[in-house]
Structure 1
Amino acid sequence: MKEQDSGAPGIWVLTLGIMVIGSNSFVLSPILIDVARDLDSTPIAVARAISAFGAATALTSFLFARSAVTWSARRILCVGGTVLALFLLGSALSRAWWHLALCQAAIGAMVGGMLPTIYDAATANAPAGQGGRTLGRVIRGWGIALVLGVPFSAFVADMAGWRAVYLILAGFAALTVAGFARLPRGAAGPAEPAGQVGPAGPRPSLGESLSARGARPLLLICLLYMTAFYGLYPYLGTRLHEAIGASASLSGIVVLAYGAGFGLASYAMGAVDRWGARRVFPVVLLVLGAIYVGLPPATTHIAPALAAAFLWGVANHVGVNLIILLLSRRGETRRRMLLGLHTTITYGSIFLGPFLLGQLYDRIGFAAACAASALFVVLAAAVAWTRRADW
């Protein structure tokens, strides 16, 4: 994406792509019972579709990072978006839980390449000193998915059935393909000639990419950060039900508060650019640690639960943005591989986080799980502080 294209059409189609991916990632949970009933199955069996999506995304993002694909970002996104639309349609037409799981696995296989490409395209040609702001506008798509996509999908499922949800997402995916087709040929990198995917010269190996200054600490921080988040977030609704008897609708309002904070935080990224990412990063991680410590008492009443969820969304947006931004600065030739590894770690944490912290939640309680999440991000803050000179 050229600098003059970093505004409306380019950035907004990348944001829309994230919104579609995010909506597909989150939408099955609130409609799980409806899907299971219609497919004559159980919620546990249907939930395997979520696992299939996450596993495929983690695997293909790693393979994508290591591959020598010679496609432009525009081509990767157009092909990925087309497959996304087709298998979202397939999800709507599923007749058994394993049909849905296979469709979601195919979608995950595309998302593993699309996500790092979208992040790369957003950061590669951002105007000088505006990388955080530009990336923040794209990452806002996750907040839009939480604030609008998931509640709207639940409403559609109630009115027209769960299949209509995937039909609508398929339509939005097709719309993104039309937008991706208008991206410049050189959208993947500043040094890239028309029609070529990456900067000139041979692509570095995995070892060479990991040897980039500060890369390994950033990926370690990503693992700690995402494990802390995904270890708690899936249990938020359960905690609210246990603590205050919250219904699904009331829990959904708390999720909306989180999504609102996540989306609005994109407007703060200009300040992060001015203050400097390496200065802000350890502070944001410590703030997240404080939020995790405060979640057990905050979730015993609805008002503080809403406030805590909003602040959690704000801090999480800034933290995710900083991890991606700092990884993207490890060098043009290494950027795609490192962003692919970021996606691998993120989706791998969907399994690791609930497994580790879920055990604590079941055996000791929510406070123990929150304490573990806080410990993870405090450790990440220590790494960020000691290695800040590398960034």
Structure 2
Amino acid sequence: MSYYRIRIQPNLVQHAEIAALLAAVLLVGSNAFVLSPILTDVAEGLETAPFRIAWAISSFGAATAVSALTLAGLVDRMPAGRVLGGAALVLAFAQVASGISPNWVWLCLSQAVAGGAVGVLLPGTYATAVTTAPPGRAAARLGLVLTGWALSLVLAVPLAAVVAEQFGWRMVYALLAGLSGLVGLGLMACLRNVRSAPVAPIPLWRALRLPGVVPLLLVMFTYMTAFYGSFAFFGEGLRTAFELSVQGIGLFVLAYGLGFGLAGLGLGILSPAITRGYVLLVLLGIAASYAGWAVALAAPQAALLAAMIWGVLNQLGLNALVVSLNQRAAAARGAVMGLNSAVSYSAVFAGPMIMGPVFAGAGFAAVSGLAAALVVIGAVISRNVIRRTP
């Protein structure tokens, strides 16, 4: 996918593009994370068991993976504003449907529709952020856009708990739907002058044959499996180590989100060159941060610092891998980012499944140790596929 602008845009309009793309990632993160803190409230409201409400999260993840594999390439062939804005509006519809759910089946189906929208919105946002960046500024622009994940953790998740307690869980989805509608219109307006250069549709099998794409997707899978497997047991590991309440665990999640967000802002200023050495250094740093949890769990202060460092390094790692994939993607960025989203959401299932027995048998330190090993494997693979120069 390559983009051109109808006219040279002033800085103000370019800033509006970045804000709209950041808001799109915020929407995705909010919908992905918001159900966890209100799970019990939703279950009570729909008069069912909490595990059935958790199936809505699985429905969302599975639909996202399928949609990313089948529909993400739309952004290679149609105007970015129309594709991303339309996906955000479909997400708004799904959130309205979630908020009026009469039973858990309806909620699962609504979240499946939300996943279908996110399978287009997320890879399209990544691809658009990189391809519309000025030369040499891809990492900087993507770093700012990825800050939306941090904002969803720092703002959306705590606010969802407060809103659900004061006004009921249905109001959470009503507010999300309103925000999604506004962001959808904003994407259409801010990206209205961004057009896809005419290209033939790129099938997935051709995207997979691009040099370096499959190994990089394998690196992404090991990286994401390590993260989602660890994050799934992060709170319980801290609770066991320090006898924390739910609010106490939230402080450590906040530290992670702050680290992730601050690193994104730093990337927006520094814009590092994504070279082989840089990617290898970041991945090894992430592996070291996972291994360091065996020591950090000895004291709350050390764990708080470790959570923030983990957030910083994960921002750097995700940024570097997404930029590297885009460098390899040529005119198939939408398709490749769709494959990336499918791989990432597959890791949502694989991570907890792999780490569950490890946590049950040996605790969070063993989970983080296995995560470190997975990231080292990814680092070894990346050494042979990342370009020496950007």
TM-score by length of 2: 0.93
Paired residue secondary structure (1:200): coil
Show the counterpart of 2:326. 328
What is the CA distance between 1:100 and its match in structure 2?
Answer: 1.1
In structure 2, relative to structure 1, the CA distance for the partners of 1:97 and 1:159 (3 Å cut) is same
**How is 1:242-261 mapped onto 2 (pairs within 5 angstroms)?**
242-261=240-259
Q: Is the 8 A contact 1:136 1:266 kept in 2?
A: yes
Q: CA deviation at 1:70?
A: 4.0
Match of 1:12 in 2: 19
> 2:178 matched to which residue of 1?
171
Unaligned runs of 5+ in 2: none
Are positions 1:124 and 2:122 aligned together? no
Matches within 5 A, 1:258-337: 258-270=256-268, 273-337=271-335
8 Å Cα contact 2:76/2:201 also seen in 1: no
Counterpart CA distance in 2 for 1:37 and 1:169 is 21
Aligned to 1:35: 42
Q: Residue deviations 1:14-61, cap 9 Å, x none? A: 111111110110011111111111211111111000000000001110
Specify the SS of the correspondent of 1:126. Answer: coil
Within 5 A, what are the aligned runs for 1:87-98? Answer: 87-98=94-105
Contact 1:285 1:319 in 2 (8 A): yes
Call closer, same or farther: CA 1:299–1:209 in 2, change over 3 Å.
Answer: same
State the 1:122 CA deviation. 0.8
Matching residue within 342, 350, 353 for 1:352: 350
Cα distance in 2, alignment partners of residues 377 and 81 from structure 1: 33
Write out per-residue CA displacement over residues 309-360 of structure 1, whole angstroms, 9 at most, x where no aligned residue: 1011110011111111111112431211110000000111100100011121
Alignment map for 1:107-118 (pairs within 5 Å): 107-118=114-125
8 Å CA contact 2:64–2:117 kept in 1: the answer is yes
The match for 1:148 among 140, 146, 155 is 155
1:85, 1:355 → 2: CA distance? 31
Which residue number in structure 2 is paired with residue 195 of structure 1?
none
Residues of 1 paired with 2:291 and 2:111: CA distance?
A: 35
Q: CA deviation at 1:77?
A: 1.6
CA RMSD after TM alignment: 1.9
Q: Does 1:383 align with 2:381?
A: yes
Partner residue in 1 for 2:224: 226
CA contact (8 A) 1:68 1:203 kept: no
User: Which amino acid is 1:244 matched to?
Assistant: F
- Kept after mapping to 1: 8 A contact 2:94/2:111: yes
Q: TM-score, normalised by structure 1?
A: 0.93
Alpha-carbon contact 2:84-2:184 (below 8 Å) kept: yes
User: Do residues 56 (structure 1) and 56 (structure 2) align?
Assistant: no
Structure 1 residue identity aligned to 2:151: I
Decide whether the 8 Å contact of 2:274 with 2:324 is kept in 1: no
Paired amino acid for 2:309:
L
Amino acid at match of 2:109: L
Most deviating of 2-11 and 43-52: 2-11
Indicate conservation of the 8 Å contact 2:75/2:83, yes or no.
no
Structure 1 residue aligned with 2:165, among 145, 158, 162?
158
Q: How many aligned residue pairs are there?
A: 382
CA distance in 2, matches of 1:362, 1:255: 22
SS in 1 for 2:135: coil
What is the Cα deviation at residue 185 of structure 1?
4.1
- Take 1:184 and 1:277, find their aligned partners in 2: how far apart are those partners? 30
- 1:347-377 Cα deviation digits (max 9, x unpaired): 1110010001112111232222111100010
Q: Secondary structure at the match of 1:388?
A: coil
Aligned partners of 2:329 and 2:336 also within 8 Å: no
Whether the aligned pair in 1 keeps the contact of 2:77 and 2:201 (CA below 8 Å) is no
Change in 2 beyond 3 A, CA 1:105/1:295? same
Please give the alpha-carbon distance, in whole angstroms, between the structure 2 residues aligned to 1:47 and 1:324: 29
Residues 185-234 of structure 1: CA distance to partner in whole angstroms, max 9, x if unpaired? 453xxxx5xxxxx4334233323322222212211100100000000101
| Whole-angstrom CA distance in 2 between matches of 1:116 and 1:186 | 20
**Equivalences for 1:337-348 in 2 at 5 Å?**
337-348=335-346
Question: Alignment identity in percent?
Answer: 37
What amino acid maps onto 1:243 in structure 2? Answer: A
- Give the conservation status (yes or no) of the 8 Å contact 1:272–1:280: no
User: Residue 199 of structure 1 corresponds to which residue in structure 2?
Assistant: 197
Q: Which moved more, 1:46-55 or 1:277-286?
A: 277-286
Q: Counterpart amino acid of 2:228?
A: Y
Q: Which runs of 5+ in 1 are unaligned?
A: 193-197
